[in-house]
Every structure is written in structure tokens, then in C-alpha cells.
Amino acid sequence: MGQATFEEISASDFFYRNRDIAGFTNPSRAIFAAIRELVENSLDAAESQKIPPDVYVRLSFEGEATKDTQIYKLRVEDNGSGIQPRFIPSAFGQVLYGSKYKLKQMRGTFGLGGKMAVLYGQITTHQAAFVASSTGQAKVYSFKLMIDIQRNRPIILDRKVLINKDQWRGTIVEFSLEGDYLRAMPKILEYFKQTAMVNPYANLTFVDPKGRLYKFVRGTEDMPEPPKETLPHPYGVDVELLQRLIQITPYKTMAEFLKHHFHRVGDITAQKFLEFSGLSPSKNPKRLAHEEIVRLMQNMKKFKEFLPPDASCLSPLGEDLLRAGIIKELKPEYLVVHQRKPSTYAGHPFIIEVGIAYGGDIPKRGSFVIYRFANRIPLLYDEASDVSFRVINAMNWRRYKVSPDMPIAIVVHICSTKVPYKTVGKEFIADRPEVRREIANELREVARQLQHFLSKREHVDKERKRLSIFAKYLPKIAQFSTMLAGKEKLPDVDKLIKSVQKYGAEET
């Protein structure tokens, strides 16, 4: 009889064995994911300082790896906040270490992306990563790092301190990885274009392995308000979170505990809730039994009188910036954007912003061009599974005199402290009724405005066509009647043509 062996594995080890779930599925997807994760870290780092981001990405060819894959060197530079020197090794050399375990809207949520990229590079090329960073102070710190996968610890191979003569601030990451750029290229370029659309205040530069330069220049310096950190809302908590809060709380009564650890809970709400769940306000939370904690969590979900979460923890793009981004990248003939007021699902606030653009650079391809964004990240895969796609397809566009063979692009941006992704790959939004309803309402709003524009345009077109008919035929009538009547001088029809413009002709 064999004996089962149990061993503990580290977080690095876990992701090493399960890299699929973080998006590093295959060589082409891996190179896309690596670029994306680092670019998003860079954007977050600049935005947290209210600095318009400048992100430079270079991918260069290093050598052949296998028949289908190559070794590339990826370098990403930003002008973001920079990282304190003591945090640098862990920030890039320890999985699940990061600054993102608080409740506010950020691009990444797991503290995983940048490290996974570095880890993937190390696995495929056995080379160290180079990181340099400065917070704009006197010195620049640079490291050569590897990850000790089994122990989930950074190994520092080299460390240098340089004088920061130019007061440079930002972070540079460079490492090698195996990938298939040729297959990934269309998605990578689309990623930059869409990122530029939803981050119109960012400069993005990409140099690809063939030396081609792609530059997306910012269209504005204005940036959205950065999000505020917030407490968890009672609707959104689970038993695990409750237990952790109970462990760390300095408060000795349930009333104080609820008031200080939960979003939008005051004296009155706390009192009503405790009454509702049959708990004494003066009970010490640390004395709660396990079953009581479970019941507390269940009651929190049942209680109807919690105030909805406010949206200060969200940082939507806003109508002006969304408009600027879409105009910059699509140059449409007509555009309408709309932002709805915040809503919630399962205790998580979210805001939907949509735009609908017509004409310009938008191609006619027999179906709408759909751009999906979540917390300012473009979602490029699994379009057909996304809630936006479903809502768009379920809508009765004919009511708005809009048809899919028109050159129309639809942009849907969801902001939330917890984007309802369906999978860890973070590629599409789950079909939740609250989200679906908001998207649908918003699409109706912009569709109405598009309809208004189209019918006005049709009217103008018709009017122009009508005028051109009179302008074409009246001079001919003049010509023929002059010949018939045997006259010399053509009658003047300009006045008649003008009068048609002014008053309109009879239609029957």
C-alpha cells in the first residue's frame, strides 16, 4: 500500500506549476501578458502620483529558442512613483507581495502580474531580471534579481547605487523571456491602441523586435481623480474577512466594531442591524463564537437597511476624458459618451461608462466594433462571453434606426473595486444582473442620441439632395424653353433655386 505524501508549496511554486491561470498559457499569450502586466503597473505608478504617465516599452530579439519560439528581451520604463529601495527585491522577486491589498480601484488586484512576468522569464531563459528605480531623490538603485521559486524569496545577484543627477523618477524593468511575437503582434498592437484610448493622458511608446516604432501621444494632461481607499461594505464580506477584522480590531463592543470597520455604517445603522440580528451592542466582538460569526455574515447579506456604498473609492475616466480618448484613437464623425451614477453588486460599487462612435476611422464590417475596458484595462479576449457583448446583441437596435452594417464602435468601461471577472485570466466580465442592467440602460441613452444625430444628418442629406435636384433641372428648363420660344436671353433661375432653399418646396 502506497503512502500519500504531503508537501507545502510556496506561492511562487504554485504559480510556476499553474501559470495558465495567470494568463501565461502559451508563448504568444505569454509575451502579450508580460507586456500588459508591466505596462499596467507603470500606469498605476504614475497615476498614484497624479503624473501623466510616460511608458516606454521595447521588445528586442535575442535568439531562437525552439522552432516556433524566440528569446526576447523586454524593457519597460516609466515615470511613475518609483519604488523605495528596500521594497524593490520583494516587489519583483516575491509573488503575492504588493501594494494592492486595499479596497480601491486599481488595474491589478492580485499583486501578481509583474512578478509572474519576471517569473515566467526566469523559467524560460534562466536569466536574471534587471530593475532600476528612483523616487526622484538623490539616488537611483538598481538590482539584478532572480526568484527562489521554492522559497518564494528574491535572490539579489547584484545591487548598485547611482547618483541621480537628473532627478529622474520612475522604474525600469528589463528581463528576457521566451515567446512568439509574430503571433502575438496583432493583439499587442491592439492592446496599445486601446490602452491609449482609455488613458488619453498617457504617452505610450512601443518599439518592436523589427525596430518598428509605435507611438501613442497623449491628447490631454487632465487625469481622473485618483480613487480613495475605503472600508469593506457589509454586503461584500465573507467569514474569512470577518475573522481577520475581529483579530485586529481594537474596539471592545459590537457597535464600535461595526462603525469603524465597515463602509457607510454609523451609530443608527449599527444599532438597527444589531437589533435585526439579535446581538447586544455591548458584546465584545472577540467573544463571538464561530457559528455566531457565520450568522453575522449571513445577516449582513439579509439586512436591507445598509446604505449603498459610495463611489469615492472609484476612479471612472469621466465623460470628457473618455471622449478625448475615443476621438484621439478613432477620429469618429460623431461621438456620444455617457457615465451613469454609481451602482453596486454584492456590496461592490461600480460605475459604467459607455461611448458610441460613428464614422471616421471606424470600419464598416457588418457588426459593431466593441471595445471593452475594466478599470482602464482593455479586454481583448473572449469577447463573445462578455456581458457587454451579450447586452449589445440583445438590444433592439432597429428601434434606434441603427444597424450593424453602419461604421459604429461601442465602448464600454466598467470601474469597480472588484471587477466581476468570470475567470482569473481577467478577460471578460461576468453576466451579473446589476451590471447587465446598467450597461443596457446606458446603451439605450447613447443609442437615443446617436439616433438623433443620424436622423438629423439624414435630414440634412435629404435637403442637400433636394436642392441639388432643383439646381440641376431649373437651368435646363430655362435652356430648353428659351430654345423652344426662340428667345435670346436665358431667364434667371438663381432666385428660384434660392427660394427653394429658404422656404422649402411643396412635397406633394
The footprint of other proteins (CB under 8 A) covers 466, 469-470, 473-474, 476-478, 480-487, 491-493, 495-496, 500, 505-508
175 neighbors 37 (Cβ within 8 angstroms): no
**Whole-angstrom distance, CA of residue 349 vs CA of residue 214:** 36
Name the minimum Å distance from CB 491 to other proteins.
4
Q: Give the total residue count for the chain.
A: 508
Tell me the closest approach of the beta carbon of residue 457 to other proteins, in angstroms.
19
Nearer to other proteins, 99 or 482 (CB): 482
284-323 burial code (b ≥16 CB/10 A, e <16):
ebeebeeeebeebbebbeeeeebeebebebbbbbbeebbb
Shortest CA distance to 417 belongs to which of 316, 317, 314, 265? Answer: 314
Smallest distance from other proteins to CB 466, Å: 6
Q: Which is nearer to other proteins, 157 or 505 (CB)?
A: 505
Least Cβ distance, residue 475 to other proteins (angstroms): 9
Nearer Cβ to other proteins, position 361 or 463? 463
What minimum distance in Å lies between the beta carbon of 459 and other proteins?
14
Q: Which neighbouring-strand residues pair with 415?
A: 351
CA-based R_g, the chain, Å? 30
- Determine the Cα angle at 127 with ends 100 and 153, to 5°: 40
For other proteins, the closer CB: 291 or 507: 507
* Cα dihedral sign, 329-330-331-335: negative
Nearer to other proteins, 167 or 508 (CB): 508
Q: 10 Å Cβ neighbour count for 49?
A: 15
The residue with cell 512601443 is 206
Residue 424 or 460: the one with the smaller Cβ distance to other proteins is 460
Q: At what angle do helices 27-47 and 181-198 cross, to 10 degrees?
A: 30
CB of 496 to other proteins, least distance (A): 6
Which CB, 2 or 486, lies closer to other proteins? 486
User: Can you tell me which residue has the cell 499569450?
Assistant: 29
- Minimum CB distance to other proteins smaller for 293 or for 493: 493
What does the DSSP 8-state code read for residue 395? S
Task: Confirm if 395 and 387 have CB atoms less than 8 A apart.
Answer: no
CB of 453 to other proteins, least distance (A): 25
Query: Could you tell me the sign of the dihedral formed by the alpha carbons of 360, 321, 196, 337, in that order?
Result: negative
Torsions phi, psi for 405 (to 5 deg): -90, 10
Residue 215, strand partner residues: 205
Nearer to other proteins, 289 or 484 (CB): 484
Q: How far is the CB of 473 from other proteins (least distance, A)?
A: 4
- Going 13 to 16 to 20 to 21, the CA torsion angle's sign is positive
CB of 28 to other proteins, least distance (A): 56
